């Protein structure tokens, strides 16, 4: 817990030290934030979203899952919403979002040398070419993690039918265990993918190699990595709920926007952008800490490009 607190404190220090640069970069994230909030609030009745939900429900029934249970109904809703949001936001994600990520990481690379400011366009393009294929590969990794969990659930629920244990109590217990396992796997995968983006930019690699290096880095420190990533994730979830409550619900009830609502929507989207910036900074500081091994008390002059621990280098060489 002390390691996670130290990493979060260093992240906040880095954010406020170059506050003007990072708040400027949040303007790059703003289009992505607006599209994400809109996709999750104003298009719940989209025909594409309903089609995705029906398809996932059919897959659950075909796999033998209790699709009518509360857990799988909620999972169906979240998966449908995430899939629709991913497709809806894809053009903005591959442009504004990744350019913003590149600018934040470039600033963090220059942070130890005190050259705090907006990075040059050429350096951003170089990092963007590294981050883009890594981000695409990370998307496949997340899909693969979901498929692996559903495969295990498929075997577990069909085992209940084979051994005639398909009573409500057994299904409820297995559903609760499934929720815990799914959350753990998804949390670890998300942290590894976020760290892989930083690895890609700092170690000049792309594709599948950054995710392998990220998995080696967090080996044995998964709980700390998840704890570090949790505050920003909870903050973004809270802002999504705030946008739904303050902007989406009044609009759906009244059918129109007021001028104060426009200003409030812009403020909420900007706060969401700031949290995305902070989350990227946390990933950079976490990477820096993991690269230093067990030396978590870092000084301001530490470089993000320090070498791996000897045993970690050996794993990567193998």
State pLDDT tens for residues 141-197.
999 998 899 888 888 888 887 887 767 788 888 888 888 898 899 999 999 999 999
Nearby residues of 314 by Cβ (< 8 Å), 6 or more positions away: none
Neighbours of 66 (CB within 10 A): 19
Domain that holds residue 267: 2-317
- Locate tokens 């409500």: which residue? 168
**DSSP label at residue 287:** H
On whether the CB atoms of residues 175 and 72 are closer than 8 A, the answer is yes
Half-sphere exposure of 178 (CA within 13 A, CB side): 25
Q: What is the pLDDT of residue 216?
A: 92
- pLDDT < 70 positions in the chain: 1-2, 42-46, 67, 110-119, 166, 293-318
103-155 pLDDT per residue, tens = 999 888 765 545 455 667 788 888 999 999 999 999 999 999 988 998 888 88
Q: What is the pLDDT of residue 92?
A: 93
CA-to-CA dists, residue 67 to 81, 86, 130, 306, angstroms: 17, 23, 41, 49
List the structure tokens of 119. 């990075």
If DSSP codes are grouped into helix, strand and coil, which group holds residue 99? helix
Q: What's the distance, CA 263 to chain centroid? A: 27
Q: What is the pLDDT of residue 299?
A: 42
Neighbours of 219 (CB within 10 A): 12
Q: What is the pLDDT of residue 67?
A: 66
Q: What angle do CA 103, 108, 113 make, to 5 degrees?
A: 125
Query: How far is it, in rounded angstroms, from Cα 257 to Cα 218?
Result: 46
The pTM for the full model equals 0.84
Query: How far is it, in rounded angstroms, from Cα 114 to Cα 45?
Result: 49
Q: Can you list the alpha helix ranges (DSSP code H) found in 111-248? A: 121-162, 168-202, 209-217, 222-243
- Locate tokens 């599948």: which residue? 208
Query: How many domains in the chain?
Result: 1
Nearby residues of 269 by Cβ (< 8 Å), 6 or more positions away: 30, 33, 34, 37, 243
**Considering the chain, what percentage of its residues have pLDDT values greater than 90?**
34
Neighbours of 73 (CB within 10 A): 14
Query: Length of the chain, please?
Result: 318
Q: What is the pLDDT of residue 117?
A: 57
Neighbours of 132 (CB within 10 A): 17
Q: What is the pLDDT of residue 137?
A: 94
CA-to-CA dists, residue 284 to 8, 11, 88, 197, 280, angstroms: 11, 8, 28, 9, 6
């Amino acid at each position: 817990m002390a390691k996670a607190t130290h990493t979060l404190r260093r992240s906040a220090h880095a954010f406020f030290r170059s506050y003007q640069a990072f708040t400027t970069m949040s303007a790059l994230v703003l289009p992505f934030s607006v599209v994400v909030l809109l996709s999750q609030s104003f298009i719940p009745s989209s025909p594409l979203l309903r089609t995705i939900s029906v398809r996932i429900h059919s897959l659950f029934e075909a796999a033998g899952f209790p699709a009518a249970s509360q857990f799988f109904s909620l999972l169906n809703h979240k998966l449908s919403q995430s899939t629709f949001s991913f497709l809806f936001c894809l053009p903005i994600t591959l442009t504004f979002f990744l350019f913003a990520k590149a600018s934040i990481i470039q600033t963090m690379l220059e942070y130890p040398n005190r050259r705090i400011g907006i990075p040059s366009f050429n350096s951003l393009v170089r990092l963007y070419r590294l981050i883009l294929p890594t981000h695409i590969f990370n998307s496949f990794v997340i899909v693969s993690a979901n498929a692996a969990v559903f495969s295990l659930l498929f075997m577990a629920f069909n085992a209940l039918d084979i051994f005639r244990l398909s009573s409500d109590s057994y299904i409820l217990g297995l559903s609760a265990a499934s929720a815990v396992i799914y959350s753990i796997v998804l949390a670890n995968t998300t942290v590894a993918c976020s760290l892989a983006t930083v690895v890609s930019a700092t170690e000049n690699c792309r594709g599948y190699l950054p995710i392998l290096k990220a998995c080696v880095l967090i080996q044995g420190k998964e709980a700390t990595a998840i704890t570090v990533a949790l505050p920003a994730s909870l903050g973004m979830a809270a802002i999504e709920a705030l946008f739904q409550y303050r902007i989406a619900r009044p609009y759906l009830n009244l059918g129109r926007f007021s001028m104060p609502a426009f200003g409030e929507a812009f403020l909420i989207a900007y706060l969401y952008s700031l949290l995305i910036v902070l989350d990227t900074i946390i990933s950079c500081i976490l990477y820096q800490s993991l690269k230093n091994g067990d030396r978590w008390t870092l000084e301001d002059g530490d470089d993000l490009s320090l070498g791996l621990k000897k045993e970690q280098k050996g794993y990567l060489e193998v």
